Amino acid sequence: MSPEASSLTDSSAVRPRGHGLGLAAFALMLIVATAALPVLGVASEGRSDGTVIVEINEIVDDDLFVAAGEFSVDGSVNGDVFAAAGTIDISGSVDGSLNVTGGSIAIDGIVEGSARVFGGDTVVSGEITGDLMVFGGAVLIQDSAVINGDLVVYGGQVDVLGTIGGDINGSVGLMTIDGAVEGDVDLDVQTLTVTSQAGIDGSLDYVSRQEANIRQGADIGGDVDRVELSPWGTGDGLRAQLFSPLVRTLWLLAAGVVMIALAPRFAAAVGGNVRRPWIPALVGLGSMVLLPIIAILLMVSVIGIPVGVILLALFLISLYLSQVVVGQHLGALILPRSWKDGSRGFLLLSMTLGVILISAFRFVPLPFISTVVNLLVAIVGLGAMVLLVRQLRPGYTS
């Protein structure tokens, strides 16, 4: 028998054995899952469907975990709520904390604890007894809203028309304060407007390239202090120095050096995915929306908590490294073609030039430039890394 025929015979013999071993592994997992169900069943209540509604007269006397296309609470939940859905509406009452992620989120009911929101558009018109933490594109705190704790917000556009019982902290592109803030305001912001109807009992401290538009009639009880964005940081403390733009750029360069030194082929492949940026841009845009939702759905399932946590961690790491990935491609465009030999030296030089260029864009004194650059880099870089997962499959050819 020829060596080729012998190899084919061995390969065909291994495949059935491999399938059998895989089935045996899944059977063991199923046995463990079945044994764990009684324990998991008493921990909380879980609901999953296209549309999940807690009706007006319904009372849920436990923590509620939801995965759905649409989710609304019209009744009462006497516990914490964890939900992932495309559309979320909280018009009833939640006796515990609210933890949600979705495309469109509305909170017009009562949340007795704190609320943590990750969404595209968030509108709050109800009452939150604790703190509100929001990560999103657009955030609107309507004039009927009352947040008794702090507002911690990271978003593109934030409008505060209601009452904030504590402080406002965060990083925002466009911020408008038109309501009452009983604490201090401390923001990293590009454009800040304080209207004539606004009232801030404490101080206003902000880091920005431009002066805030504080209109006549605005009532600010404390000092107003603007710190202009600087590469060397925005303060004298250790925290300000460690998180200064120059040090953060150095961290990125260090991460890029480690990635290229340990996995140069990986770095070259993921950087090559950016050559046609519209493809990773589309993949990255979809991944930016879907990956956090999938991770939270896994964590909501309880059994999938470890996988969900790992997926969420990989998502955040990929977002951070997206600056290295896109920077490497930008640097390669700058360097002469004759230098492109795929060596570690070339990859390191192109990455260094590109990361420095991306960091420099953040200091362009034009509104929204930094936000647009950060968003584009994150989307394209994330898409390039997601595409690499498909390319790592055995037998893949570009």
Q: Does residue 32 belong to any structural domain of this protein?
A: no
Query: Tokens representing 330?
Result: 């930008």
The confidence score (pLDDT) of residue 18 equals 54
Nearest one of 189, 190, 183 to 168, comparing CA atoms: 183
**Residues 318, 185 share a domain:** no
CA–CA separation, 230 and 236 (whole Å): 12
**Residues 310, 361 share a domain:** yes
- Write down which residue in 229, 256, 277 finishes a domain: 229
Q: How confident is the prediction along the chain (398 residues), in pLDDT tens digits per residue? A: 444 444 444 444 444 555 566 566 656 666 665 555 455 444 455 565 678 899 998 989 888 888 888 899 999 999 999 888 889 999 999 999 999 888 899 999 999 999 999 888 899 999 999 999 998 888 999 999 999 999 999 888 899 999 999 999 988 888 999 999 999 999 988 889 999 999 999 999 998 878 899 999 999 999 999 887 655 555 555 555 566 677 788 888 999 999 998 888 888 888 888 888 889 999 988 888 788 878 877 776 667 778 888 888 888 898 899 999 999 999 888 888 888 877 888 899 999 999 999 888 776 666 567 777 888 898 999 999 988 887 766 555 55
The confidence score (pLDDT) of residue 143 equals 95
**Residues 184, 249 share a domain:** no
In sequence order, the β-bridge partners of residue 151 are 132, 168
- Write down which residue in 202, 229, 256 finishes a domain: 229
CA–CA separation, 18 and 100 (whole Å): 41
**Residues 244, 225 share a domain:** no
- Write down which residue in 196, 229, 262 finishes a domain: 229
In sequence order, the β-bridge partners of residue 77 are 60, 94
Domain that holds residue 61: 45-229
